[in-house]
Amino acid sequence: MVKIMTLKETRTAYSLSLDKADLTQTPLIVEHEGEAVAALVPITEYRQFEAWRKRQATSLAEPDDAFERERAAFERLKPQLLKTHRGKFVAVVDEQVVDLDTDRVRLVLRVYDRFGYRPIYVQIVEDHLPRVRLPSVWIAR
Amino acid sequence: MMLPYDSAFNPPAPVLEIVVGRPQATHIETHVRAQVDPGSDITVLPESVAEAIGLQRAGDLETEGYDGVVTCWPLCVVTLTVADVTLPPISVVVMPRSLAILGRDVLNHFILALNGKDLTFELRDP
């Protein structure tokens, strides 16, 4: 359950008389003049939040320079790849084709083994991108 | 085991909780509710799930919606545990949604029984 503490302006420094259990188990909302102004949360939750915020900064929805470079490299290399590897999946890392396979997932996992978990561009070498049907999906924008 | 339909949908729909994991990192996983959708070719995950476990993009895929509109989406490789069965790694599309969608790429691993009369369903690994 969330606890609420009211903050009052004084000339003295604030002190909180809460035991450790209070601070490690439940959030504490600090109010000033009837308005919630801050929250104390267990340090584990704060660290999870910090990690989440860091990940937000590199959201999949945002343009990712590293990923876009790999995709651009694929498009650049595609005319040549169509002559040599049509119908196969290729993996682009650091703007170079590093591996190929007939199976997308197998190729992705092999590239992660070799280069670590990072943005990569794996695509089938065909004239057009593969397309799948999602007739009932609603997108929240 | 028969599971109840989610009555938050109108009409009620088969929805269950699944576990999504990062490939080759068994301890990095999260839970999300997923709607069973045999009409979808592929499985879809919400962006929030990708962000929660730090999924990296491994490509993209074009999708065609009910209205014929074609859109390009990020594609990631994940592990999924559905109805207590952990499937081999699979590629999924990531979209700004609140619920995941279980498409036929996942459902075809199971026997799916929909009992609309009782508003219950079952996903069973034969």
- On whether any CB of chain B is under 8 Å from the CB of A67, the answer is yes
Query: How do the domains of chain B map onto residue ranges?
Result: 3-121
Is residue A24 over pLDDT 90? no
CB contact under 8 A, A137 and B52: no
Interface test with A, best of B20, B56, B75, B101 (most A CBs within 10 A): B56
Interface test with A, best of B37, B57, B63, B70 (most A CBs within 10 A): B57
Nearest CA in chain A to B22: A117
Task: Compute the mean pLDDT over every residue in chain B, rounded to the nearest whole number.
Answer: 93
Where would I find the H helices in chain A?
Answer: 20-25, 43-57, 65-84, 104-115
Distance CA B9, CA B48 (A): 21
Q: Spell out the SS3 assignment of B33-85.
A: EEEECCCCCCCEEEHHHHHHCCCCCCEEEEEECCCCCEEEEEEEEEEEEECCE
CA atoms within 13 A on the CB side of A89: 20
pLDDT in tens, B60-86: 998 887 777 888 899 999 999 999 999
Is residue A139 over pLDDT 60? no
Is residue A59 over pLDDT 70? no
Q: Using pLDDT thresholds of 50, 70 and 90, give the confidence band for residue A141.
A: very low
Tokens of residue A126, six digits: 């065909």
Is residue A13 over pLDDT 70? no
Which residues, listed in sequence order, are joined to residue A88 by a DSSP beta bridge? none
Using a CB-CB cut-off of 8 Å, the residues of chain A touching B51 are: 52, 55-56, 59-60
Among B51, B70, B96, beta carbon nearest to A131: B70
- For residue B78, is it left (φ>0), alpha (ψ between -120 and 50) or beta? beta
The pLDDT of residue A131: 85
CB contact under 8 A, A60 and B101: no
- On whether any CB of chain A is under 8 Å from the CB of B42, the answer is yes
- Is domain B3-121 classified as CATH 2.40.70.10? yes
Using a CB-CB cut-off of 8 Å, the residues of chain B touching A62 are: none
Q: Using pLDDT thresholds of 50, 70 and 90, give the confidence band for residue B3.
A: very high
Distance CA B55, CA B73 (A): 14
Using a CB-CB cut-off of 8 Å, the residues of chain B touching A61 are: 47, 74, 96
- On whether any CB of chain B is under 8 Å from the CB of A74, the answer is no
| Whole-number percent of chain B with pLDDT over 70 | 100
Query: Which is it for strands B70-82 and B85-86: parallel, antiparallel or unpaired?
Result: antiparallel
The pLDDT of residue B52: 92
Q: Please state the rounded mean pLDDT for residues A106-111.
A: 97
Q: Could you tell me which of A30, A27, A31, A21 has the C-alpha nearest to residue A41?
A: A27
CB contact under 8 A, A67 and B47: no
